[in-house]
Amino acid sequence: MTALFKGSCLAIYLLALVGIFIDLPAGVAAPVQYGAVILLGAHVLEIFVAFKSIRLYRGSLVVSIVLTVLFGFLHWMPLARAKRRTGSPKAARGSRLGA
């Protein structure tokens, strides 16, 4: 299910980008572009709200931030859940949940 939602996020971003260069049918470009901007803005705000969970990512912090900007809670929520389950940040870092 997470993969479906991540794919939906990527599809929205791709449609918004394509809409800049090509006229999409039925005036879809503007609403999709506004939706993509709102989605990206919300995900940027999530960086500040969930930074402790974002830091738990096993890879680079920069990669984790980029993944949060792209996917929001779909990226950091599994990390937070893994930490809550184990109580150990190292265990959450080793987790590949949601990646």
Would residue 39 count as lying in a domain?
yes
Number of domains in the chain: 1
Would residue 10 count as lying in a domain?
yes
Would residue 79 count as lying in a domain?
yes
> Distance between CA atoms of 68 and 44, rounded to whole angstroms?
8
Rounded average pLDDT over 23-38: 91
Would residue 99 count as lying in a domain?
no
Question: What tens digit of pLDDT does each residue of 61-84 get?
Answer: 999 999 999 999 999 999 999 999
**pLDDT class of 2 with cuts at 50, 70, 90:** confident
**pLDDT class of 90 with cuts at 50, 70, 90:** low
Least confidently predicted of 6-15, 40-49, 57-66, 86-95: 86-95
Domain that holds residue 54: 2-94
Mean pLDDT of all residues belonging to the chain: 88
Extract the tokens encoding 68.
Answer: 């949060």
Would residue 20 count as lying in a domain?
yes
